Amino acid sequence: MGKVIVKKLKIDTCHGVNDFEKRKPQRFEFFAEVGCDFYEAAKNDDVAQTINYSTVCKIITAVATQNVFNLIETLAGRCAQAILENFPKADYVKMRVEKPQAPLKVRFKTVAAEVELKRTTAYLSLGSSMGDKKAYLDFAVKELAATRGITVKKVSSYIESAPYGGVAHNTFLNACVEVETYLPPRALLSEIHRIEAAGERSRNLRWDDRTLDIDIIFYGREVVCEDGLTIPHADYMNRSFVIEPLREIAPDFICPLAGTMIKNLAVPASK
């Protein structure tokens, strides 16, 4: 793993919550660190095989000068997104934006916002037990692919399964999806909830029949245990309708908790 670094890129532009900041340019300084494997670039002395820092500077300049944001947090985030989207070879971006001329009535050197975005492979489980089930799953895949920061890489076959959890009554249609994303887990969950709502999901009773259900099963090899978010999914190993489609698209993925490849997990009996 290598990194390409840009430091103290100075751009005069307009960002801030005050009206005068939106009209009168002031100095901003940008720092970018882009992680990538540039072994082949160094071996062949070929700029096309690395992260071109000239292009990084042009991307930052375009984002900074073609938009007006209230927050430097937004400016940092949009710059990081644009860099990742323009460089498929980039594994992560660390972005820092400094505003040394911020209109504060105190003595200070600078104010800054930092963000880090990294590409991660995540696995999602899709399910539907109401209405046109296939259409709802197709809708979910289409919406995921259309969401900024998410790229759909693989979609499993759709399989039917018996209702699970003792509340739902209808047969489910299920699938798993492999996505590449730079959205952090919470942001990914937020987009999932948006897609579920757009798919007419009702949350009246847990495990009841539903038009669309999307669960995060894995987010890279990260382990997350927070209020409302557990990764790996706490119950996935008890669900044949998750294990079977996962085996199809990610047989060699190793569960960070079980330490076992998906293809070696026992498929639970349908319930």
Active site amino acids? 201, 210, 213, 215
DSSP 131-182: SSHHHHHHHHHHHHHHSTTEEEEEEPPPEEE---SSS--SPEEEEEEEEEE-
Cα distances (angstroms) measured from residue 123 to each of 80, 152, 178, 214, 258: 23, 10, 5, 10, 16
8 A C-beta contact, residue 141 and residue 177: yes
Q: Is the peptide bond before 232 cis (omega within 30 degrees of 0)?
A: yes
The contacts found for 129-132 with CB under 8 angstroms, 24 or more apart, are 129/163, 129/168, 129/170, 129/171, 129/172, 129/173, 129/209, 129/210, 130/170, 130/209, 130/210, 130/211, 131/200, 131/211
